[in-house]
Amino acid sequence: MMKRTINTVFSLTLAASLAACSGENQQASTTEAADRQAPASYELVLRGGMLYSGSDQPPVIGDIAINGQIIAAVGNLGDYQAAQVIDVQGLAVMPGFIDIHSHALSDNTEQGIFGWPDAENLIRQGVTTVVGGNDGSSPVPLADSFEQIAAIPPAINFASFIGHGSIRGLIVGEDDRPATEEELILMQEQVALGMQQGAFGLSSGLIYTPGRFADTEEVIALARVAGEYGGMYISHMREEGLGLLDSVAETIRIGEEGGLPTQLTHHKVVGAPMWGSSVETLRMVDEAIARGVDVSIDQYPYTASSTNLQILFPGWSLDGGREALLARMADPTQRQRLRNDIVYNIEVDRGGNDPANVVLAGCPHDETLNGLNLSQVLLREGQEITKANAAELLMDLVAAGNCSAVFHAMVEEDIHNIMRHPRTMIASDGGVEGPSNRAVHPRNYGTFARFLGHYARDLDIVPMHTAIHKVTAMPAQRLKISDRGVLHPGTVADIAVLDLESVRELTSFSDPHQYAEGAVHVFVHGQAVLLDGSMTGARPGVIIRSTDYRSDP
């Protein structure tokens, strides 16, 4: 009797529990149905735009919902509530551009990201993130500069590589000699520190001092350290003219033996004797990829480069730094040798075989020179236009304090070849600029507008969706930044809204300080920094560190 009673009670309890659960489930289902019918709530919706996801696919019409700093939803959102709705019908909505080769950080606090924290020259192109520390030059250590930038704060996000040249200058100095074993260890420690502080890899400038004094084995040893932290190697190669093929081979070797991704940065072909050689350099890249080397490329879309005048000086003359160079220029025998070598570089390298191809961009000691080419300066000084006189002029300008310059020595054929390569992304090799007396390279104001408007839209060198991929998801993936560069729910709301029919650069070599057209809205971390074509004054940029995307080894 007792056993039957217990079973009966258990059965009745079980039945009651099931009924209760059924009632609860029915009530829950009713509640869930009501929830499903309730419209979603968002802070901001960009409605009805052509959505380019960043993933190299044609656009689709849809909406983007933003809550705080994050993309909350993408697609046809249907019924929703939003605090703000912006109609973007007929406009292209895409991830904010990532400039993987930038010089946004200047030693002069009145220039660069410190001088113009609104970064209007970049925002008006759709750029939301820049990566500094390129060409082997970066602050050492990085942490202090990160704190200074974060304290501004800027309108754009900032990330950085750690520079081989800066580290070598700190440890070895400006001398043309191999590093000692002890110095190599100290340099490796500095690379490790940079990676621990958030660098995305090691950059080199093997055409510049003191990086040019390092042998390949030294660079491999340092690159290997960056690779241990999941970083990449990005290089301004030793030569981009007559020695181009050897330099491409060296860059590939550093990645292959260093065990990390490697990148030919601002890949170009300089000097008439080498024009057309991009066919061979890209073949070398493809062969390396086929055997398992992770090689990529970045490029700026111009047939002129820009750096300081010492790029035309031979390496032997730069051994020991500036004072040693001045002493050599003061010695008649060495000056004659130096003159001959500079003439050679004018003929076959960045001089483009004509002094008029070298245009002075920034001469702090004499701003009246800015915008004049070497031939014009010679005429102004009453001298005959010869390559020897141009070489003498260059030595005098460097002795007076040096100048930055623009060098017209490339051709469109190579630009097109490199641009079409599937591993090529677009970067400015420029910085944050504002109105000044400097005759800066137009790439500072026009790189991305020129690429999308001229090369993708007008010339159809690459499809528009591929062009957008090359400045969004591709650099994000290269840097292993997983939450930017794509329009996906859960990613950071760095977004550019452009009128692709009107995108164009207004900048020129003769009048460079002109903002690009075509950007309508730009959002950084969900905040509008450009709204209806006007700067808002918001500065929501942050420091992006590699340590946020990886675990230390």
Tokens 């809550």, residue? Answer: 67
Question: Which band of pLDDT confidence, cut at 50, 70 and 90, is reported for residue 551?
Answer: confident
Q: What is the mean pLDDT of residues 328-346?
A: 96
HSE-up (13 A, CA, CB side) for residue 460: 0
464 and 342 within one domain: no
Asked whether residue 261 falls in the same domain as residue 299, the answer is yes
DSSP code string of 92-117: EEEEPEEESSB----SSTTSHHHH-T
Residue 78 lies in a domain: no
> Does residue 384 share a domain with residue 496?
no
Nearest Cα neighbor of 161 from 59, 93, 217, 236 is: 236
Is residue 171 within 8 Å of residue 141, measured between CB atoms? Answer: no
53 in any annotated domain: no
The pLDDT score that the predictor gives to residue 37 is 64
pTM greater than 0.85 (yes/no): yes
* Shared-domain flag, residues 251 and 328: no
Question: Same domain, yes or no, for 416 and 401?
Answer: no
Residues 473-526 have pLDDT tens digits of 999 999 999 999 999 999 999 999 999 999 999 999 999 999 999 999 999 999
Please check whether residue 383 lies inside any domain of the structure.
yes
Confidence of residue 388 (pLDDT cuts 50, 70, 90): very high
pLDDT digits (tens, 9 = 90+) for 267-289: 999 999 999 999 999 999 999 99
Instruction: Give the end of a domain, one of 407, 434, 469.
Output: 407
Give the integer Cα–Cα distance in Å for 295 and 38.
49
What's the mean pLDDT in 126-137? 98
Determine what percent of the chain is predicted with pLDDT higher than 90. 90
Judge whether 288 lies within some domain: yes
pLDDT value at 29 more than 60: no
- Together in a domain, 295 and 414: yes
87 belongs to a structural domain: no
- C-alpha 59/C-alpha 7 separation (Å) is 65
Helix axes 164-171, 216-228, angle to 10 degrees: 110
pLDDT in tens, 49-63: 999 999 999 999 999
Q: What is the pLDDT of residue 12?
A: 35
Contact of 186 with 121, CB cutoff 8 Å: no
Identify whether residues 329 and 296 lie together within a single domain. Answer: no
Mean pLDDT rounded to a whole number for the chain: 93
Our count of domains for the chain comes to 3
C-alpha distance from residue 525 to each of 57, 489, 518 (Å): 24, 14, 21
CATH number at residue 516: 3.20.20.140
Taking the CA atoms of residue 474, residue 477, residue 483 and residue 485 in that order, the dihedral angle to the nearest 10 degrees is 0
Same structural domain for residues 167 and 276? yes
Percent of the chain with pLDDT over 70: 93
Average pLDDT, stretch 397-408?
95
In a shared domain, residues 424 and 292: yes
> Residue 370 has which token pair?
């800015």
Strand 157-160 with 127-132, pairing: parallel
65 within domain boundaries: no
Domain around 393: 308-407
Confidence at residue 22, expressed as pLDDT on a 0 to 100 scale = 46
**What's the residue count for the chain?**
553
348 inside domain: yes
